[in-house]
A and B are shown apart, each in its own frame.
Chain A
Amino acid sequence: MKLIYLIFILSFIFIQASAQELFPNTEPASNCPKGVLTIRQINEFFTEYTPSHDTSRTRSMNGLMIMYGVSSKLMLTLTATASNHHGSVLYESDKFIKEKDGIIDTHGVAYGNDYPYRFNGFDLKAKYKFINNDGERRHFRMAAYGEVSTCRVPHDEAEPDLMDDNAGIAGGLIATQLIKRLAISATLGCIIPYYYRQNWYQDLGEMKLYYGNAVNYSLSFGYLLFPAKYKNYKQVNVNIYLEFLGEDYQAVKIYLSNIQNANSPIYLDPGSLALQAGRYLEARPGIQFIFNSNTRIDLSLATTIPDGYGGYLLGHSYTRMYPAYFINFQHYFFLK
Protein backbone atom coordinates (compact mmCIF):
# COMPACT_ATOMS: atom_id res chain seq x y z
CA MET A 1 0.00 0.00 0.00
CA LYS A 2 2.83 2.33 0.93
CA LEU A 3 4.26 1.93 -2.54
CA ILE A 4 0.98 2.79 -4.21
CA TYR A 5 0.90 5.98 -2.15
CA LEU A 6 4.49 6.71 -3.10
CA ILE A 7 3.77 6.22 -6.82
CA PHE A 8 0.63 8.33 -6.53
CA ILE A 9 2.47 11.17 -4.79
CA LEU A 10 5.33 11.06 -7.29
CA SER A 11 2.99 11.15 -10.28
CA PHE A 12 1.18 14.04 -8.68
CA ILE A 13 4.46 15.97 -8.25
CA PHE A 14 5.37 15.29 -11.88
CA ILE A 15 2.00 16.37 -13.24
CA GLN A 16 2.04 19.50 -11.08
CA ALA A 17 5.35 20.56 -12.53
CA SER A 18 3.98 20.43 -16.01
CA ALA A 19 9.51 14.16 -20.93
CA GLN A 20 10.40 12.05 -21.65
CA GLU A 21 10.02 8.50 -22.72
CA LEU A 22 13.59 7.58 -23.55
CA PHE A 23 13.73 5.49 -20.40
CA PRO A 24 17.15 4.20 -19.33
CA ASN A 25 15.84 0.85 -18.06
CA THR A 26 12.67 0.07 -20.01
CA GLU A 27 11.44 0.48 -23.57
CA PRO A 28 8.57 2.83 -24.41
CA ALA A 29 5.80 1.82 -26.84
CA SER A 30 7.35 4.23 -29.39
CA ASN A 31 9.91 2.97 -31.86
CA CYS A 32 13.02 4.28 -33.59
CA PRO A 33 12.03 6.21 -36.74
CA LYS A 34 11.99 4.14 -39.94
CA GLY A 35 15.47 3.71 -41.37
CA VAL A 36 17.20 4.99 -38.26
CA LEU A 37 19.86 2.81 -36.67
CA THR A 38 20.51 3.29 -33.00
CA ILE A 39 23.47 1.88 -31.15
CA ARG A 40 23.41 1.68 -27.38
CA GLN A 41 26.25 0.48 -25.23
CA ILE A 42 24.93 -0.77 -21.90
CA ASN A 43 26.80 -1.29 -18.62
CA GLU A 44 25.63 -2.61 -15.29
CA PHE A 45 27.78 -3.06 -12.23
CA PHE A 46 27.42 -3.68 -8.52
CA THR A 47 29.63 -4.62 -5.64
CA GLU A 48 29.12 -8.09 -4.23
CA TYR A 49 30.11 -8.19 -0.63
CA THR A 50 30.57 -11.58 1.00
CA PRO A 51 30.27 -11.24 4.79
CA SER A 52 31.52 -14.80 5.44
CA HIS A 53 34.84 -14.05 3.74
CA ASP A 54 34.79 -10.28 4.29
CA THR A 55 35.63 -9.83 0.64
CA SER A 56 34.02 -7.86 -2.11
CA ARG A 57 34.20 -7.87 -5.86
CA THR A 58 32.65 -5.92 -8.70
CA ARG A 59 30.22 -7.80 -10.89
CA SER A 60 29.69 -6.20 -14.24
CA MET A 61 27.58 -6.82 -17.30
CA ASN A 62 28.27 -5.02 -20.56
CA GLY A 63 26.39 -5.14 -23.77
CA LEU A 64 25.96 -3.72 -27.21
CA MET A 65 22.47 -3.07 -28.46
CA ILE A 66 21.60 -2.35 -32.09
CA MET A 67 18.12 -1.01 -32.78
CA TYR A 68 16.61 -0.49 -36.20
CA GLY A 69 13.32 1.02 -37.29
CA VAL A 70 12.06 -1.35 -40.02
CA SER A 71 8.88 0.69 -40.41
CA SER A 72 7.10 3.28 -38.33
CA LYS A 73 5.43 0.36 -36.50
CA LEU A 74 8.14 -2.29 -36.28
CA MET A 75 11.49 -2.05 -34.54
CA LEU A 76 14.12 -4.76 -34.13
CA THR A 77 16.69 -4.85 -31.34
CA LEU A 78 19.69 -7.16 -31.22
CA THR A 79 21.73 -7.22 -28.03
CA ALA A 80 24.97 -9.04 -27.25
CA THR A 81 26.10 -9.20 -23.64
CA ALA A 82 29.12 -10.29 -21.63
CA SER A 83 29.55 -10.47 -17.86
CA ASN A 84 31.52 -11.92 -14.98
CA HIS A 85 28.36 -13.24 -13.34
CA HIS A 86 28.87 -16.92 -14.10
CA GLY A 87 31.46 -19.62 -14.50
CA SER A 88 31.62 -21.84 -17.55
CA VAL A 89 29.77 -24.55 -15.58
CA LEU A 90 28.32 -24.87 -12.09
CA TYR A 91 30.99 -26.33 -9.88
CA GLU A 92 30.68 -28.84 -7.12
CA SER A 93 32.64 -26.42 -4.99
CA ASP A 94 29.85 -23.87 -5.41
CA LYS A 95 27.87 -26.23 -3.17
CA PHE A 96 24.96 -25.73 -5.48
CA ILE A 97 23.75 -29.27 -4.75
CA LYS A 98 24.74 -31.25 -1.68
CA GLU A 99 24.47 -34.89 -0.89
CA LYS A 100 24.54 -36.09 2.66
CA ASP A 101 23.66 -39.57 3.86
CA GLY A 102 22.07 -40.32 0.50
CA ILE A 103 19.81 -37.26 0.64
CA ILE A 104 20.27 -34.81 -2.18
CA ASP A 105 19.11 -31.27 -1.87
CA THR A 106 20.19 -27.78 -2.77
CA HIS A 107 22.48 -25.59 -0.84
CA GLY A 108 22.23 -21.86 -0.41
CA VAL A 109 23.94 -20.32 -3.42
CA ALA A 110 27.47 -19.38 -2.48
CA TYR A 111 28.24 -15.77 -3.18
CA GLY A 112 31.78 -14.60 -3.44
CA ASN A 113 33.17 -16.65 -6.32
CA ASP A 114 35.36 -14.98 -8.85
CA TYR A 115 34.33 -15.74 -12.40
CA PRO A 116 36.05 -14.81 -15.63
CA TYR A 117 34.50 -12.25 -17.90
CA ARG A 118 32.52 -14.22 -20.50
CA PHE A 119 30.29 -13.70 -23.49
CA ASN A 120 26.68 -14.60 -22.62
CA GLY A 121 24.85 -14.62 -25.93
CA PHE A 122 22.43 -12.71 -28.12
CA ASP A 123 18.96 -11.40 -27.48
CA LEU A 124 16.64 -10.46 -30.35
CA LYS A 125 13.55 -8.39 -29.72
CA ALA A 126 10.80 -7.25 -32.08
CA LYS A 127 8.44 -4.51 -31.00
CA TYR A 128 5.26 -3.70 -32.92
CA LYS A 129 3.38 -0.47 -32.24
CA PHE A 130 -0.34 -1.08 -32.74
CA ILE A 131 -1.92 2.02 -31.21
CA ASN A 132 -0.71 5.49 -32.09
CA ASN A 133 -2.85 8.39 -30.91
CA ASP A 134 -0.90 11.59 -31.46
CA GLY A 135 -1.97 15.05 -30.40
CA GLU A 136 -0.24 18.38 -30.06
CA ARG A 137 2.75 17.71 -27.77
CA ARG A 138 1.19 14.50 -26.54
CA HIS A 139 0.71 10.93 -27.54
CA PHE A 140 -0.60 7.63 -26.33
CA ARG A 141 0.94 4.53 -27.79
CA MET A 142 0.72 0.82 -27.25
CA ALA A 143 3.08 -1.85 -28.49
CA ALA A 144 3.50 -5.60 -28.25
CA TYR A 145 6.91 -7.24 -28.12
CA GLY A 146 8.38 -10.66 -28.55
CA GLU A 147 11.88 -11.65 -27.54
CA VAL A 148 14.19 -14.63 -27.96
CA SER A 149 17.54 -15.12 -26.24
CA THR A 150 20.48 -17.48 -26.63
CA CYS A 151 22.12 -16.59 -23.29
CA ARG A 152 22.36 -20.15 -21.96
CA VAL A 153 24.79 -19.72 -19.10
CA PRO A 154 25.06 -21.57 -15.76
CA HIS A 155 22.71 -19.21 -13.99
CA ASP A 156 22.17 -20.27 -10.38
CA GLU A 157 19.05 -18.31 -9.46
CA ALA A 158 15.35 -18.86 -10.15
CA GLU A 159 14.73 -15.37 -11.51
CA PRO A 160 15.07 -15.35 -15.30
CA ASP A 161 16.80 -12.56 -17.21
CA LEU A 162 16.97 -13.07 -20.97
CA MET A 163 19.44 -10.26 -21.50
CA ASP A 164 22.13 -11.75 -19.30
CA ASP A 165 21.36 -15.14 -17.81
CA ASN A 166 18.82 -17.24 -19.68
CA ALA A 167 18.01 -18.53 -23.08
CA GLY A 168 14.29 -18.43 -23.67
CA ILE A 169 11.40 -16.44 -24.98
CA ALA A 170 9.42 -13.49 -23.68
CA GLY A 171 6.54 -11.32 -24.75
CA GLY A 172 4.40 -8.53 -23.44
CA LEU A 173 2.60 -5.26 -23.83
CA ILE A 174 3.76 -1.69 -23.36
CA ALA A 175 1.59 1.42 -22.95
CA THR A 176 3.12 4.89 -23.01
CA GLN A 177 1.42 8.20 -22.39
CA LEU A 178 3.29 11.42 -23.05
CA ILE A 179 1.91 14.79 -22.02
CA LYS A 180 4.14 17.77 -22.76
CA ARG A 181 7.20 17.27 -20.53
CA LEU A 182 6.01 14.14 -18.72
CA ALA A 183 6.03 10.56 -19.90
CA ILE A 184 4.49 7.59 -18.12
CA SER A 185 4.99 4.08 -19.38
CA ALA A 186 3.94 0.65 -18.16
CA THR A 187 5.07 -2.80 -19.23
CA LEU A 188 3.51 -6.17 -18.48
CA GLY A 189 5.12 -9.26 -19.88
CA CYS A 190 6.03 -12.87 -19.31
CA ILE A 191 9.33 -14.70 -19.54
CA ILE A 192 9.63 -18.39 -20.36
CA PRO A 193 13.25 -19.39 -19.87
CA TYR A 194 14.84 -22.43 -21.46
CA TYR A 195 16.50 -24.99 -19.21
CA TYR A 196 20.22 -25.29 -18.59
CA ARG A 197 21.98 -28.63 -18.57
CA GLN A 198 25.38 -29.99 -17.61
CA ASN A 199 26.87 -33.19 -16.19
CA TRP A 200 26.95 -33.16 -12.44
CA TYR A 201 29.50 -34.70 -10.16
CA GLN A 202 29.37 -37.64 -7.77
CA ASP A 203 27.91 -39.81 -10.55
CA LEU A 204 24.62 -38.00 -10.31
CA GLY A 205 24.50 -37.85 -14.08
CA GLU A 206 23.06 -35.08 -16.17
CA MET A 207 21.65 -32.12 -14.31
CA LYS A 208 18.82 -30.14 -15.86
CA LEU A 209 17.93 -26.83 -14.30
CA TYR A 210 14.53 -25.42 -15.14
CA TYR A 211 14.27 -21.79 -14.14
CA GLY A 212 11.03 -20.25 -13.06
CA ASN A 213 8.62 -18.76 -15.56
CA ALA A 214 8.07 -15.14 -14.68
CA VAL A 215 5.75 -12.21 -15.05
CA ASN A 216 7.67 -8.98 -15.42
CA TYR A 217 6.23 -5.54 -14.85
CA SER A 218 7.40 -1.96 -14.81
CA LEU A 219 6.09 1.55 -14.32
CA SER A 220 8.26 4.42 -15.50
CA PHE A 221 8.07 8.17 -15.15
CA GLY A 222 10.19 10.58 -17.18
CA TYR A 223 10.32 14.34 -17.04
CA LEU A 224 12.07 16.85 -19.30
CA LEU A 225 13.94 19.08 -16.90
CA PHE A 226 15.93 21.17 -19.35
CA PRO A 227 15.61 23.11 -21.61
CA ALA A 228 12.52 24.98 -20.46
CA LYS A 229 12.16 26.27 -24.00
CA TYR A 230 13.91 24.82 -27.05
CA LYS A 231 16.17 27.04 -29.08
CA ASN A 232 18.12 24.63 -31.28
CA TYR A 233 19.22 21.05 -31.71
CA LYS A 234 22.55 21.70 -30.01
CA GLN A 235 21.00 22.39 -26.63
CA VAL A 236 21.73 19.75 -24.01
CA ASN A 237 18.50 18.06 -22.90
CA VAL A 238 18.28 16.82 -19.34
CA ASN A 239 15.63 14.28 -18.44
CA ILE A 240 15.01 12.77 -15.03
CA TYR A 241 13.47 9.38 -14.50
CA LEU A 242 11.98 7.23 -11.84
CA GLU A 243 11.28 3.67 -12.82
CA PHE A 244 9.90 0.72 -10.90
CA LEU A 245 10.78 -2.71 -12.23
CA GLY A 246 9.98 -6.11 -10.91
CA GLU A 247 9.32 -9.76 -11.52
CA ASP A 248 7.17 -12.48 -10.04
CA TYR A 249 8.87 -15.81 -10.73
CA GLN A 250 8.44 -19.48 -9.97
CA ALA A 251 10.96 -21.69 -8.18
CA VAL A 252 13.76 -23.55 -9.91
CA LYS A 253 13.30 -27.25 -10.64
CA ILE A 254 16.42 -29.39 -10.69
CA TYR A 255 16.48 -32.89 -12.15
CA LEU A 256 19.37 -35.34 -11.87
CA SER A 257 19.31 -38.25 -14.32
CA ASN A 258 21.12 -40.82 -12.19
CA ILE A 259 19.22 -40.63 -8.96
CA GLN A 260 16.50 -43.03 -8.00
CA ASN A 261 13.58 -40.70 -8.63
CA ALA A 262 14.90 -38.98 -11.72
CA ASN A 263 11.52 -37.73 -12.88
CA SER A 264 10.92 -35.67 -9.77
CA PRO A 265 12.86 -32.52 -9.09
CA ILE A 266 15.23 -32.66 -6.15
CA TYR A 267 14.25 -31.03 -2.91
CA LEU A 268 15.02 -27.32 -2.61
CA ASP A 269 16.47 -26.46 0.76
CA PRO A 270 14.28 -23.68 2.24
CA GLY A 271 17.51 -21.77 2.84
CA SER A 272 18.25 -21.67 -0.92
CA LEU A 273 16.35 -18.43 -1.23
CA ALA A 274 17.68 -17.58 -4.68
CA LEU A 275 16.23 -20.86 -6.00
CA GLN A 276 12.81 -20.39 -4.47
CA ALA A 277 9.87 -18.58 -6.01
CA GLY A 278 9.92 -14.86 -5.38
CA ARG A 279 8.73 -11.46 -6.35
CA TYR A 280 10.09 -7.98 -6.02
CA LEU A 281 9.79 -4.41 -7.18
CA GLU A 282 12.85 -2.22 -7.22
CA ALA A 283 13.16 1.51 -7.83
CA ARG A 284 15.52 2.92 -10.45
CA PRO A 285 16.00 6.67 -10.35
CA GLY A 286 18.01 8.07 -13.24
CA ILE A 287 19.19 11.10 -15.13
CA GLN A 288 19.82 11.45 -18.85
CA PHE A 289 21.76 13.91 -20.95
CA ILE A 290 21.09 14.26 -24.68
CA PHE A 291 23.68 16.07 -26.79
CA ASN A 292 23.12 17.42 -30.31
CA SER A 293 19.70 15.72 -30.28
CA ASN A 294 21.35 12.43 -31.29
CA THR A 295 23.69 11.27 -28.54
CA ARG A 296 22.55 10.33 -25.10
CA ILE A 297 24.04 9.26 -21.81
CA ASP A 298 21.89 7.57 -19.17
CA LEU A 299 22.93 7.23 -15.54
CA SER A 300 20.67 5.25 -13.23
CA LEU A 301 20.78 2.97 -10.24
CA ALA A 302 18.65 0.16 -8.88
CA THR A 303 17.71 0.22 -5.26
CA THR A 304 15.23 -1.62 -3.10
CA ILE A 305 12.35 0.10 -1.41
CA PRO A 306 13.05 0.05 2.37
CA ASP A 307 10.27 -0.93 4.75
CA GLY A 308 11.59 1.33 7.48
CA TYR A 309 12.65 -1.61 9.68
CA GLY A 310 15.87 -2.48 7.93
CA GLY A 311 14.15 -4.80 5.44
CA TYR A 312 12.64 -4.53 2.02
CA LEU A 313 9.09 -3.40 1.44
CA LEU A 314 8.68 -5.20 -1.85
CA GLY A 315 11.44 -7.77 -1.89
CA HIS A 316 14.64 -7.71 -3.89
CA SER A 317 16.33 -9.47 -6.74
CA TYR A 318 18.82 -12.24 -5.93
CA THR A 319 20.62 -11.67 -9.21
CA ARG A 320 22.23 -8.40 -8.12
CA MET A 321 23.31 -6.53 -5.01
CA TYR A 322 22.07 -3.05 -4.24
CA PRO A 323 22.71 -0.41 -5.28
CA ALA A 324 23.39 -1.60 -8.82
CA TYR A 325 24.55 1.10 -11.24
CA PHE A 326 23.69 1.45 -14.92
CA ILE A 327 25.37 3.58 -17.57
CA ASN A 328 24.18 3.66 -21.17
CA PHE A 329 25.71 5.46 -24.15
CA GLN A 330 23.53 5.82 -27.21
CA HIS A 331 23.83 7.33 -30.64
CA TYR A 332 21.33 7.63 -33.50
CA PHE A 333 22.59 7.02 -37.04
CA PHE A 334 20.44 8.33 -39.87
CA LEU A 335 21.22 5.84 -42.61
CA LYS A 336 19.57 7.43 -45.63
Chain B
Amino acid sequence: MVICLLVLTNYFANAQFTSVMVAVDGLTCSACSYATQKSLFELDFVADVQMDLNTHIATVTFKTDKKISIDKIAQKVIDAGFSVGSLNAVFNFKEVTVSNDYCLTYEGDVYRFISTKEKTLSGSSSIKFIGEKFMRKKDFKKWKGQMSGTCSSKDSINSTSKIYFVTPA
Protein backbone atom coordinates (compact mmCIF):
# COMPACT_ATOMS: atom_id res chain seq x y z
CA MET B 1 0.00 0.00 0.00
CA VAL B 2 2.80 2.38 1.01
CA ILE B 3 4.71 1.45 -2.14
CA CYS B 4 1.59 2.04 -4.18
CA LEU B 5 1.11 5.43 -2.57
CA LEU B 6 4.74 6.35 -3.17
CA VAL B 7 4.53 5.36 -6.79
CA LEU B 8 1.30 7.26 -7.21
CA THR B 9 2.60 10.35 -5.45
CA ASN B 10 5.66 10.31 -7.66
CA TYR B 11 3.55 9.83 -10.73
CA PHE B 12 1.43 12.84 -9.98
CA ALA B 13 4.29 14.92 -8.62
CA ASN B 14 5.35 17.94 -10.56
CA ALA B 15 8.97 16.93 -10.19
CA GLN B 16 10.75 13.59 -9.99
CA PHE B 17 14.22 12.49 -9.00
CA THR B 18 16.17 10.71 -11.66
CA SER B 19 19.71 10.60 -10.28
CA VAL B 20 22.22 12.18 -7.92
CA MET B 21 25.81 13.04 -8.71
CA VAL B 22 28.08 12.99 -5.69
CA ALA B 23 31.64 14.32 -5.98
CA VAL B 24 33.53 12.33 -3.34
CA ASP B 25 36.46 14.18 -1.81
CA GLY B 26 39.57 12.60 -0.36
CA LEU B 27 39.58 9.62 -2.72
CA THR B 28 42.67 8.65 -4.67
CA CYS B 29 42.80 4.87 -4.68
CA SER B 30 40.51 2.43 -6.42
CA ALA B 31 40.10 0.37 -3.24
CA CYS B 32 38.75 3.51 -1.54
CA SER B 33 36.36 4.20 -4.44
CA TYR B 34 35.24 0.58 -4.30
CA ALA B 35 34.51 0.87 -0.56
CA THR B 36 32.50 4.05 -1.12
CA GLN B 37 30.51 2.51 -3.96
CA LYS B 38 29.77 -0.59 -1.86
CA SER B 39 28.70 1.63 1.00
CA LEU B 40 26.21 3.54 -1.21
CA PHE B 41 24.80 0.26 -2.50
CA GLU B 42 23.73 -0.65 1.04
CA LEU B 43 20.92 1.94 0.85
CA ASP B 44 17.65 0.20 0.04
CA PHE B 45 16.46 2.95 -2.34
CA VAL B 46 19.61 2.84 -4.49
CA ALA B 47 19.26 1.00 -7.78
CA ASP B 48 22.74 1.60 -9.19
CA VAL B 49 26.00 3.40 -8.44
CA GLN B 50 28.45 4.27 -11.17
CA MET B 51 31.77 5.58 -9.91
CA ASP B 52 34.12 7.48 -12.18
CA LEU B 53 37.48 6.34 -10.85
CA ASN B 54 39.33 9.37 -12.18
CA THR B 55 36.98 12.23 -11.30
CA HIS B 56 35.56 10.38 -8.23
CA ILE B 57 32.02 11.38 -9.10
CA ALA B 58 29.46 8.76 -8.12
CA THR B 59 26.25 8.72 -10.14
CA VAL B 60 23.49 7.21 -8.02
CA THR B 61 20.20 6.11 -9.56
CA PHE B 62 17.13 5.15 -7.57
CA LYS B 63 14.47 2.49 -7.27
CA THR B 64 11.03 3.88 -8.03
CA ASP B 65 9.21 2.19 -5.15
CA LYS B 66 11.35 3.43 -2.26
CA LYS B 67 11.63 6.76 -0.46
CA ILE B 68 14.85 8.54 -1.33
CA SER B 69 17.00 10.18 1.34
CA ILE B 70 19.72 12.55 0.15
CA ASP B 71 20.91 12.81 3.74
CA LYS B 72 21.59 9.09 3.89
CA ILE B 73 23.61 9.25 0.66
CA ALA B 74 25.90 11.91 2.14
CA GLN B 75 26.16 9.96 5.41
CA LYS B 76 27.27 6.80 3.58
CA VAL B 77 30.12 8.70 1.94
CA ILE B 78 31.14 10.06 5.35
CA ASP B 79 30.91 6.59 6.95
CA ALA B 80 33.20 5.24 4.26
CA GLY B 81 35.77 7.73 5.55
CA PHE B 82 35.46 10.41 2.89
CA SER B 83 33.59 13.69 2.35
CA VAL B 84 31.06 15.07 -0.10
CA GLY B 85 32.66 17.75 -2.30
CA SER B 86 29.39 18.56 -4.02
CA LEU B 87 26.02 16.90 -4.46
CA ASN B 88 23.75 17.65 -7.40
CA ALA B 89 20.46 15.94 -8.12
CA VAL B 90 18.75 15.67 -11.47
CA PHE B 91 15.02 16.30 -11.21
CA ASN B 92 12.52 15.83 -13.96
CA PHE B 93 10.35 18.91 -13.63
CA LYS B 94 6.87 19.47 -15.10
CA GLU B 95 6.69 23.23 -15.57
CA VAL B 96 7.61 24.29 -12.06
CA THR B 97 8.23 27.96 -11.41
CA VAL B 98 10.85 28.34 -8.72
CA SER B 99 12.05 31.45 -6.95
CA ASN B 100 13.81 32.41 -3.75
CA ASP B 101 12.28 30.53 -0.78
CA TYR B 102 10.10 28.40 -3.05
CA CYS B 103 9.54 25.03 -1.39
CA LEU B 104 9.07 21.87 -3.37
CA THR B 105 7.55 18.97 -1.47
CA TYR B 106 8.56 15.55 -2.66
CA GLU B 107 8.00 12.24 -0.87
CA GLY B 108 7.34 14.13 2.35
CA ASP B 109 10.64 16.02 2.24
CA VAL B 110 10.91 19.72 1.53
CA TYR B 111 13.39 21.14 -0.99
CA ARG B 112 13.70 24.83 -0.35
CA PHE B 113 15.23 26.98 -3.09
CA ILE B 114 17.61 29.71 -1.99
CA SER B 115 19.61 32.23 -4.00
CA THR B 116 17.23 31.55 -6.88
CA LYS B 117 15.91 33.99 -9.45
CA GLU B 118 12.40 33.28 -10.63
CA LYS B 119 12.36 30.82 -13.49
CA THR B 120 10.34 27.93 -14.81
CA LEU B 121 11.99 24.54 -14.74
CA SER B 122 10.88 22.04 -17.29
CA GLY B 123 12.31 18.65 -18.13
CA SER B 124 15.60 17.45 -16.75
CA SER B 125 17.24 20.04 -14.48
CA SER B 126 20.05 19.78 -12.04
CA ILE B 127 19.79 21.23 -8.56
CA LYS B 128 22.62 21.71 -6.12
CA PHE B 129 22.27 20.69 -2.48
CA ILE B 130 23.47 23.19 0.09
CA GLY B 131 24.56 22.16 3.56
CA GLU B 132 27.52 21.21 5.69
CA LYS B 133 27.27 17.56 4.66
CA PHE B 134 26.84 18.29 0.97
CA MET B 135 29.76 20.54 0.12
CA ARG B 136 33.33 21.53 0.98
CA LYS B 137 33.78 23.54 4.17
CA LYS B 138 34.95 26.65 2.34
CA ASP B 139 31.94 26.51 -0.01
CA PHE B 140 29.59 26.04 2.91
CA LYS B 141 30.90 29.21 4.57
CA LYS B 142 29.64 31.21 1.57
CA TRP B 143 26.15 29.71 1.82
CA LYS B 144 25.73 29.59 5.58
CA GLY B 145 24.25 33.10 5.87
CA GLN B 146 21.58 32.38 3.29
CA MET B 147 20.13 29.37 5.08
CA SER B 148 17.49 31.28 7.04
CA GLY B 149 14.01 32.64 6.43
CA THR B 150 10.90 30.60 5.71
CA CYS B 151 9.19 28.96 2.79
CA SER B 152 7.06 31.23 0.62
CA SER B 153 4.39 28.50 0.54
CA LYS B 154 3.78 26.49 3.71
CA ASP B 155 0.74 24.47 2.74
CA SER B 156 2.30 21.04 2.28
CA ILE B 157 4.95 21.19 4.99
CA ASN B 158 4.48 19.28 8.21
CA SER B 159 6.68 19.17 11.27
CA THR B 160 8.25 15.82 10.36
CA SER B 161 9.45 17.04 6.97
CA LYS B 162 13.17 16.99 6.35
CA ILE B 163 14.16 20.35 4.85
CA TYR B 164 16.91 20.49 2.27
CA PHE B 165 18.33 23.74 0.92
CA VAL B 166 18.84 23.70 -2.84
CA THR B 167 19.60 26.01 -5.71
CA PRO B 168 19.47 25.48 -9.48
CA ALA B 169 22.91 24.19 -10.54
| B79 pairs with A224, CB closer than 8 A | no
A174 at the interface (CB under 8 A from B): no
Which residues does chain A contribute within 8 Å of B23, judged by CB atoms? 136
Q: Does A25 contact B (CB under 8 A)?
A: no
Chain A nearest CB: distance from B75 CB in Å?
Answer: 9
- Of chain B, the residue at the smallest CB distance from A227 is B30
Question: Which candidate, B35-43, B108-116, B146-154, is the interface stretch facing chain A?
Answer: B35-43
Task: State the CA gap A237–B31 with chains docked (Å).
Answer: 9
Complex contact A132–B53 (CB within 8 A) = no
B78: min CB distance to chain A, Å = 5
* Chain B interface, >50% SS class: mixed
Task: Kindly identify which residue among A33, A231, A233, A293 contacts B39, using a CB–CB cutoff of 8 Å.
Answer: A33
Count of interface residues, chain A, beta-carbon cutoff 8 Å:
42
Interchain CA distance A20-B80 in the complex, whole Å: 17
How many interface residues does chain B have, given as a range? 20 to 34
Q: Determine whether the beta carbon of A22 is less than 8 Å from that of B29.
A: yes
The answer to whether B28 and A180 have CB atoms under 8 Å apart is: yes
Binds A, one of B13-21, B59-67, B81-89, B159-167: B81-89
> A134 touches which one: B26, B30, B38 (CB < 8 A)?
B26
Residue on A nearest B38 in the bound complex, by CB = A334
State in angstroms the CA–CA spacing of A35 and B83 once bound together: 17
A22 to B31, CA, bound (A): 10
Contact of A19 among B28, B79, B83 (CB under 8 A): B28
- The minimal Cβ–Cβ distance linking B52 to chain A, given in whole angstroms, is 9
Q: Does A72 contact B (CB under 8 A)?
A: yes
B54 touches A230 (CB 8 A): yes
Complex interface: chain A residues within 8 A of B54 (CB):
229-230
Residues of chain B touching chain A, judged by Cβ–Cβ distance below 8 Å, are: 23, 25-31, 33-36, 38-39, 42, 53-54, 56, 78-83, 85, 136-137
A30 CB–B CB distance under 8 Å: yes
Q: Are B28's CB and A71's CB within 8 A? A: no
**Interchain CB contact (< 8 A) of B79 among A35, A129, A136:** A35
Expressed in whole angstroms, the Cα–Cα distance for A46 and B166 within the complex equals 60
16 A/B residue pairs, CB under 8 Å, sorted by A: A33-B38, A33-B80, A33-B81, A36-B35, A132-B26, A135-B25, A135-B85, A139-B82, A231-B53, A232-B53, A233-B53, A237-B30, A293-B30, A293-B31, A293-B34, A334-B38
Q: How far is the CA of A36 from the CA of B82 in the complex (A)?
A: 14
Q: 8 Å CB contacts to B: which residues of A233-262?
A: 233, 235, 237
Of B26, B31, B33, B53, which is within 8 A of A139 by CB? B26
Interface status of A2 (Cβ within 8 A of chain B): no
Of the candidates A129, A133, A138, A293, the one having the most CB atoms from chain B within 10 angstroms of its own CB is A293
Say yes or no for A85: interface residue by CB 8 A criterion. Answer: no
Known contacts A33-B80, A34-B79, A290 near B31 by CB under 8 Å? yes
Within 8 A of B (CB), among A284-300: 290, 293-294, 296
Task: Report yes or no: B29 in contact with A224, Cβ–Cβ below 8 A.
Answer: yes
With A33-B36, A334-B35 already in contact, the answer to whether A72 and B28 are too (CB < 8 A) is no
Residue positions of A touching B, CB distance < 8 A? 19-22, 30-36, 69, 71-72, 129, 132-139, 178, 180-181, 183, 224, 229-233, 235, 237, 290, 293-294, 296, 332, 334, 336
Would B85 and A136 count as touching, CB distance under 8 A?
yes
Let me know if B81 and A30 touch, CB within 8 A. Answer: yes
Chain A positions within 8 Å of B42 at CB level: 35, 336
Chain A min CB distance to B64 (Å): 23
**Given A19-B28, A139-B26, A230-B53: A31 and B34 interface contact (C-beta under 8 Å):** no
Contact assessment for A20 and B33 in the assembled complex, using a CB-CB cutoff below 8 Å: no
Which residue on A lies nearest to B82, using beta carbons? A134
**From residue A294, how far is it (CB to closest CB) to chain B in Å?**
6
The distance from the CB of A82 to the nearest CB of chain B, in whole angstroms, is 28
Nearest 4 A/B pairs, CB to CB: A134-B26, A230-B53, A134-B83, A134-B25
> Whole-angstrom distance from the CB of B53 to the nearest CB of chain A?
3
**Alpha-carbon distance A296/B32, docked complex (angstroms):** 13
Q: Once the chains are docked, how many angstroms separate the CA of A139 from the CA of B26? A: 5
| Residue with the greatest number of chain A CB neighbours at <10 A, chosen from B23, B33, B35, B42 | B35
Supposing A30-B81, A31-B81, A231-B53 touch, asked if A135 and B136 sit within 8 A by C-beta, the answer is yes
Residue of B nearest to A140 (CB): B26
Closest A residue to B138 by beta carbon equals A135
Smallest CB separation, B161 vs chain A (Å)? 27
The CA-CA distance from A34 to B56 in the complex, in Å, is: 19
Q: How far is the CA of A235 from the CA of B53 in the complex (A)?
A: 11
User: Complex Cα distance A32/B35, Å?
Assistant: 9
Residues of A within 8 A of B25 (CB): 134-136, 139
